[in-house]
Chain A
Amino acid sequence: QVQLVQSGAEVKKPGASVKVSCKASGYTFTSYYMHWVRQAPGQGLEWMGIINPSGGSTSYAQKLQGRVTMTRDTSTSTVYMELSSLRSEDTAVYYCARDLEGTRFDPWGQGTLVTVSS
């Protein structure tokens, strides 16, 4: 079955960077784009960006431009999301989610909690 397994929780200091991984299985990794979505505590979902695992092209939400980088490793079927210059407002659960036909997210990873605190 299609499965997305993310890396574990992280605690970072303000100004640092974090890199979250998402390992895909159960389908052809390079055939489906992957999104990253985050959710601050008690808040709604926020779309962060998308990566094409085939060629590596990316598109990021304007709000995060310059701080977010999405990459992939086709040899391990893993996508990565790196967020730099972390601030307290970046404390959130970060999800990867597979794109289907450009119109929906399915399935989702289990989520990775990133806590930014001094």
Chain B
Amino acid sequence: QSALTQPASVSGSPGQSITISCTGTSSDVGGYNYVSWYQQHPGKAPKLMIYDVSNRPSGVSNRFSGSKSGNTASLTISGLQAEDEADYYCSSYTSSSQRVFGTGTKVTVL
């Protein structure tokens, strides 16, 4: 199972919106609405931000939103804030009932 493809880095100024893509295949991202997104600050464990493509867990800011089209899922962060600077990973359920992560994206707030 190959890792899902994410851009290595994305940056934006405070208040702007950015979008991170996550590209897989019809055997993972495209085949199921089971894409989730995780935020990871340096030295910390990942934190769930979005699940089932576009759902936000309780306590996660509504500045975070998710979507999917075909084999590509996306995470959008609107009203970018300094605290959003972190690594972001997507994950998907797969046709072999396993899980796969994206390559990860470093978000920089300029």
Asked whether, in the complex, the Cβ of A62 is within 8 Å of the Cβ of B1, the reply is yes
Task: Tell me, rounded to whole Å, the shortest Cβ–Cβ distance linking A64 to chain B.
Answer: 11
Asked whether, in the complex, the Cβ of A59 is within 8 Å of the Cβ of B91, the reply is no
Chain A interface (Cβ < 8 Å from any Cβ of B): 35, 37, 44-47, 50, 59, 61-62, 95, 97, 100, 102-111
Whether B63 is near chain A, meaning CB under 8 Å from some CB there, is: no
Q: How many A-B residue pairs have CB under 8 A?
A: 60
Q: Which parts of B51-80 form the interface with A (CB within 8 Å)? A: 51-52, 57
Chain B interface (Cβ < 8 Å from any Cβ of A): 1, 3, 34, 36, 38, 45-48, 51-52, 57, 89, 91, 93, 97-104
Q: How far is the CA of A103 from the CA of B98 in the complex (A)?
A: 10
Asked whether, in the complex, the Cβ of B100 is within 8 Å of the Cβ of A47, the reply is yes
- Chain B neighbourhood of A111, CB < 8 A: 45
14 residue pairs A–B, Cβ–Cβ below 8 Å:
A44-B89, A44-B101, A45-B91, A47-B91, A61-B1, A102-B34, A103-B36, A104-B34, A104-B51, A104-B91, A105-B38, A106-B48, A108-B46, A109-B45
> Residue of B at shortest CB range from A62?
B1
Known A103-B52, A105-B36: A95·B46 in contact at CB below 8 Å = yes
> Residue of A at shortest CB range from B36?
A104
The 9 closest A-B pairs by CB, nearest first: A108-B45, A44-B104, A104-B51, A103-B34, A104-B36, A106-B48, A45-B101, A47-B99, A45-B89
- Chain B neighbourhood of A46, CB < 8 A: 101
Asked whether, in the complex, the Cβ of B57 is within 8 Å of the Cβ of A106, the reply is yes
Asked whether, in the complex, the Cβ of B45 is within 8 Å of the Cβ of A110, the reply is yes
> Residue of A at shortest CB range from B99?
A47
Known A44-B3, A44-B89, A59-B98: A105·B46 in contact at CB below 8 Å = yes
